[in-house]
């Protein structure tokens, strides 16, 4: 008869968007012969009616249990999508003299060590999921329960504390979404528990020698000691969280740990707010970076904070403008040897929408710092992964473009379909928005009432944090043309900073990516690469080319029912499937910037004239259905074989009849070509095509380590290809 389990560890924790906790459980070697099994019980305590409101969640959690986590990676026991008021139980046999076989070795102490990982699947709104985690020990037959608990004198005092903080602390760690109280170890003589919360797992941490409280007073050798740190910013895509890029962060950290110069920064400021538009998302990421790098602690940063505090506290506009003018005069041609956190280099990595957010963020930082930031910190690598650089709609069915342009996913959908911004509604300056705050402030308000949160934000003007209700705008915010076109325009602030990077690289899925198609993620293709030949009998593809509808079905099923790998399958990165990778370097077009800028100006003028002439054709920035159908049938103007020389766009008469050419605006295909020309003008790119057999949009970044095994070598390629020292 099985012995009655004894409760050894219990913990109650709340997780929001991007929340994750890990428990490292180790059995005391002197007790392994007294225990038969460990039972891990995890319960989603959210009320069951929350299952009916997935738009506010989804209210689900996932669990992974890994035995001997320090050994060669092994696919753990996985339990995905645990819904409200549901629980799961995972049993782990103790490796001892009673259980010793080919798979467990008593001589290996790691065989009695486990890592339990619990993460939140919530992405749409920053609500909280209450979770209970319990560990029970089942004694061996003949072992008394009194013996198991006899050495435990004080069961209520053994609490593993979390090291989390509510804001960016001295070590550079970011805010966390989970509670700060660690698990309660009721039987410490039996098991030990090393607990890590969201902050410790996802937050950035500087090497110890990087921090100096008064860097301005440091000696020359101390300045050399802290200088030279390379900040790598990772930005997630739409309806995502920083968990999407956690595996990539951990691989970058592990690969560069030997030199201690790499600091990875996962952006969490857009959790639950990715539908508000590229502009809003980019501003939030920019303000987080300015705060994290220590720019706010400089003289110019303090002046910027003062101007923003004036706006937040509703002071006079003239006073705010006066502060901004003073900042501009003081910061012109200013260069620091290093910001207070010792960062001298920066690389940017963005997945999907995150790549576009990063492009906007570059221009925004350049504008609000008046050139100080990138005059001090050197931009090195700019990397996009499955990013719709040319927008969405011209490669998809027209109905998808119509839905997005009508606001199916908010302002972000309109930005992605290259909609004109002339009719974009501005928010009232008196409206408080939680998502307008940087993450270090936003998390502290998430469990407060809205009125209390607004009051707290408005009364924080004395701090050196950027917490204005409406962050300052940059030059990109004033153009009525589509935002993607404005960012790609040669001479624009984003385009100018993008050119300053040492290299620019775009990873693109050749097939099996329904969200972001091949042409938009490669800016109209890879030179000398023929997609049709790739999928022919002589090509390298391992599967035939699938239809669009097949991709839609498989992508939907992969999102609703994530595939679970087989249990107990040992798998290292070397054993992971090798995706087909095609690399091509695209040279810049010298002297093309002026011509491309002229074309964009002409396109903007035509669009404005068309809107004024015929409101029924282009009402509120939404294209007529016939125009969208025409854009789908337009021939590609930039071929896969000759991308080094981007040809000129045809005239309007080539795309429509001469009688309507003056009133019909540019189609999405035309605008996409203009964006592609803007990014290729006087700018080199390395384009990498990746072929993954399964749903590739999340595989390419390994969105979840154990569910997206096919992307392991894609991440390995990125980590080894780029120098983050």
DSSP β-bridge partners for residue 115 = 24, 66
Are 60 and 121 in a shared domain?
Answer: yes
Q: Which residue has the tokens 């101007």?
A: 307
Kind and range of the H or E run holding 309: helix 299-312
One domain, residues 447 and 372: yes
pLDDT of residue 160: 54
Q: Does 249 or 550 have the greater pLDDT score?
A: 249
Assign 587 a pLDDT band (cuts: 50, 70, 90): confident
The whole-model pTM stands at 0.79
Whether 159 and 262 map to the same domain: the answer is: no
Q: Domain ends where: 438, 469, 500?
A: 469
Write down how long the chain is: 725
Verify that 237 and 193 share a domain, yes or no.
no
Residue 502: its pLDDT value, please? Answer: 95
Q: For the segment 285-313, what is each residue's pLDDT rounded down to a tens digit?
A: 999 999 999 898 888 888 777 766 554 44
Q: Is the peptide bond before 58 cis (omega within 30 degrees of 0)?
A: yes
Beta bridge partners of 265: 233
158 shares its domain with 241? no
Q: Report the 10 Å Cβ neighbour count for 578.
A: 12
Same domain, residue pair 278 and 366: yes
196 and 232, same domain (yes or no): no
**Rounded mean pLDDT of 157-176?**
42
Whether residue 282 is found in the same domain as residue 328: yes
**What sign does the CA torsion over 152, 153, 156, 161 have?**
negative
From the number of C-beta atoms within 10 Å of its C-beta (0-12, 13-18, 19+), residue 98 rates as: middle
What is the percentage of the chain residues whose pLDDT exceeds 90? 38
Q: For residue 168, is pLDDT > 60?
A: no
Q: What is the pLDDT of residues 519-541, one digit of tens each?
A: 999 999 888 888 888 888 888 87
Give domain status of residue 17, yes or no. yes
pLDDT tens for each residue of 388-435 = 999 988 887 777 778 888 878 889 999 999 888 875 544 333 333 444
The verdict on residue 119 lying in a domain is yes
Whole-angstrom distance, CA of residue 324 vs CA of residue 281: 23
Mean pLDDT of 110-135: 92
Strand-by-strand arrangement of the 343-351 sheet: 262-266, 229-235, 343-351, 378-385, 503-509, 685-691, 580-586
Q: Examine residue 78 and state whether it is found in any structural domain, yes or no.
A: yes
Full 3-state SS string of 500-566 = HCCEEEEEEECCCCCCCCHHHHHCCCCCCCCHHHHCCCCCCCCCCCCCHHHHHHHHHHHHHCCCCCC
Average pLDDT value for the chain: 75
Instruction: Report pLDDT digits (tens) over 69-83.
Output: 888 777 788 998 899
Tell me the C-alpha distance between 504 and 522, whole Å. Answer: 12
Res 409: pLDDT: 86
Cα atoms in the 13 Å half-sphere on the side-chain side of 58: 15
DSSP character at residue 380: E
Q: What is the pLDDT of residue 335?
A: 52
At residue 562 the predicted structure's pLDDT band, cuts being 50, 70 and 90, is low
Which residues does 452 contact at the CB level (< 8 Å), separation at least 6? 445
Burial label, 483 (beta-carbon count in 10 A; 0-12, 13-18, 19+)? buried
Given this model, what pLDDT does residue 456 score? 38
List beta partners, residue 26: 113, 192
Residue 162 in any domain: the answer is yes
Range of the domain at 55: 6-202
pLDDT value of residue 581: 84
**Are residue 191 and residue 75 in the same domain, yes or no?**
yes
Residue 660 has pLDDT above 60, yes or no: no
Residue 185: which region, alpha, beta or left (left: phi > 0; alpha: psi -120 to 50)? beta
In a domain? residue 80? yes
Closest to 298 measured CA to CA, from 223, 363, 346, 369:
369
pLDDT for 36 beyond 50: yes
Distance CA 40, CA 138 (A): 11
Note whether 257 and 238 are within 8 A (CB). Answer: no
623/511: higher pLDDT: 511
**pLDDT on residue 11:** 96
70 domain residue, yes or no:
yes
Instruction: Calculate mean pLDDT across residues 186-194.
Output: 93
Q: Are 288 and 436 in contact (CB under 8 A)?
A: no
| Type and span of the H or E element at 23 | strand 20-27
Does 717 map to a domain? no
- Of the three residues 417, 438, 469, the one that is the final residue of a domain is 469
What is the helix (H) or strand (E) element at residue 345, kind and residue range? Answer: strand 343-351
Task: Read off the CATH number of the domain in which 24 is found.
Answer: 2.60.120.380
Q: Which residue did the predictor score with more confidence, 34 or 498?
A: 498
Q: Is 50 exceeded by the pLDDT of residue 680?
A: yes
Same domain, yes or no: 74 and 112: yes
| Same domain as 316, residue 198 | no
Q: Could you read off the pLDDT of 350-374 as tens digits, one per residue?
A: 999 999 999 999 999 999 998 999 9
Taking only the tens place, the pLDDT of each residue in 325-353 is 343 444 444 555 567 788 999 999 999 99
Mark whether 191 and 255 lie in a shared domain: no
| CA-to-CA dists, residue 87 to 7, 102, 150, 406, 560, angstroms | 16, 31, 30, 40, 19
Q: Give the pLDDT score at 568.
A: 47
pLDDT of residue 338: 62
Query: Which pLDDT score, from 0 to 100, does residue 34 have?
Result: 86
Instruction: Name the nearest CA neighbour of 281 among 345, 226, 343, 235.
Output: 235
Number of structural domains the chain divides into: 2
531 phi and psi, to 5 degrees?
Answer: -65, -40
Residue 705 in domain: no
Res 465: pLDDT:
47
Sort strands 129-139 and 6-15 into parallel, antiparallel or unpaired.
Answer: antiparallel
Mean pLDDT, residues 488-507:
94
């Amino acid at each position: 008869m099985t012995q009655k389990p004894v409760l050894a560890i219990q913990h109650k924790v709340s997780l929001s968007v991007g929340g994750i906790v890990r428990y490292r459980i180790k059995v005391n070697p002197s007790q392994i012969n007294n225990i038969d099994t460990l039972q891990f019980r995890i319960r989603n305590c959210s009320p069951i009616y929350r299952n009916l409101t997935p738009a506010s969640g989804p209210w689900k959690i996932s669990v992974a249990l890994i035995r001997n986590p320090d050994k060669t990676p092994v696919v753990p026991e996985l339990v995905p999508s645990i819904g409200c008021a549901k629980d799961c139980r995972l049993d782990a046999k103790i490796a001892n003299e009673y259980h010793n076989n080919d798979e467990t070795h008593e001589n290996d102490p790691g065989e009695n060590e486990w890592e339990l990982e619990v993460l939140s699947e919530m992405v749409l709104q920053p609500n909280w999921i209450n979770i209970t985690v319990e560990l029970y020990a089942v004694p061996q037959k003949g072992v008394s329960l009194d013996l198991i608990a006899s050495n435990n004198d004080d069961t209520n005092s053994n609490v593993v504390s979390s090291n989390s903080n509510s804001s960016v602390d001295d070590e550079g760690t970011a805010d966390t979404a989970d509670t700060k109280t660690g698990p309660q170890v009721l039987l410490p003589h039996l098991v030990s528990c090393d607990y890590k919360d969201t902050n410790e797992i996802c937050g950035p941490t500087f090497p110890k020698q990087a921090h100096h409280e008064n860097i301005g007073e440091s000696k020359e050798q101390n300045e050399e000691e802290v200088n030279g740190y390379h900040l790598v910013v990772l930005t997630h895509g739409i309806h995502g969280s920083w968990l999407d890029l956690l595996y990539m962060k951990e691989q970058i950290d592990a690969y560069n740990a030997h030199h201690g110069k790499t600091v990875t920064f996962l952006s969490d400021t857009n959790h639950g707010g990715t539908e508000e538009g590229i502009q809003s998302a980019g501003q939030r990421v920019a303000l987080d970076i300015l705060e994290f790098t220590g720019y706010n602690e400089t003289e110019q940063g303090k002046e910027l904070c003062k101007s923003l505090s004036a706006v937040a506290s509703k002071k006079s506009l003239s006073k705010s403008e006066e502060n901004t003018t003073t900042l501009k005069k003081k910061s012109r041609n200013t260069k620091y040897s290093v910001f207070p956190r010792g960062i001298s280099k920066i690389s940017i990595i963005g997945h999907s929408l995150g790549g576009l957010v990063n492009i906007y963020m570059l221009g925004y930082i350049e504008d609000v710092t008046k050139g100080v930031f990138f005059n001090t910190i050197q931009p090195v690598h700019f990397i996009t992964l499955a990013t719709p650089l040319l927008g969405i709609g011209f490669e998809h069915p027209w109905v998808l473009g119509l839905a997005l342009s009508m606001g199916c996913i908010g302002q972000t959908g309109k930005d992605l379909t290259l909609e004109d911004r002339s009719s974009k509604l501005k928010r009232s300056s008196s409206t408080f928005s939680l998502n307008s705050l940087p993450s270090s402030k936003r998390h502290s308000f998430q469990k407060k009432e809205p009125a209390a949160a607004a009051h707290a934000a408005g009364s924080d003007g004395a701090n050196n944090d950027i917490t204005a209700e409406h962050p300052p705008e940059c030059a990109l915010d004033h153009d009525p043309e589509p935002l993607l076109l404005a960012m790609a325009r040669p001479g624009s602030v984003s385009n100018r900073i993008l050119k300053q990077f040492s290299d620019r690289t775009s990873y693109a899925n050749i097939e099996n990516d329904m969200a972001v198609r091949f042409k938009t993620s490669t800016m109209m293709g890879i030179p000398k690469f023929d997609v049709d030949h790739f999928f022919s009998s002589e090509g390298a593809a391992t599967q035939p080319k699938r239809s669009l509808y097949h991709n839609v079905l498989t992508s939907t099923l992969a999102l609703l029912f994530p595939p679970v790998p087989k249990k107990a399958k040992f798998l290292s990165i070397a054993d992971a499937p090798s995706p087909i990778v095609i690399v091509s370097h695209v040279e810049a077009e010298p002297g093309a910037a002026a011509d491309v800028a002229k074309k964009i100006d002409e396109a903007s003028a035509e669009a404005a004239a068309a809107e004024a002439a015929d409101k029924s054709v282009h009402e509120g920035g939404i294209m007529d259905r016939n125009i969208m159908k025409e854009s789908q049938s337009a021939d590609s103007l930039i071929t896969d074989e000759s991308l080094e020389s981007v040809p000129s766009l045809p005239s309007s008469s080539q795309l429509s009849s001469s009688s309507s050419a003056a009133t019909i605006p540019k189609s999405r295909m035309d605008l996409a070509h203009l964006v592609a020309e803007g990014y290729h003008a006087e700018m080199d790119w390395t384009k990498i095509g990746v072929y993954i057999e399964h749903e590739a949009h999340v595989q390419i970044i390994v969105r979840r380590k154990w569910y997206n095994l096919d992307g392991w070598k894609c991440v390995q390629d990125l980590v080894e290809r780029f120098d983050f020292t």
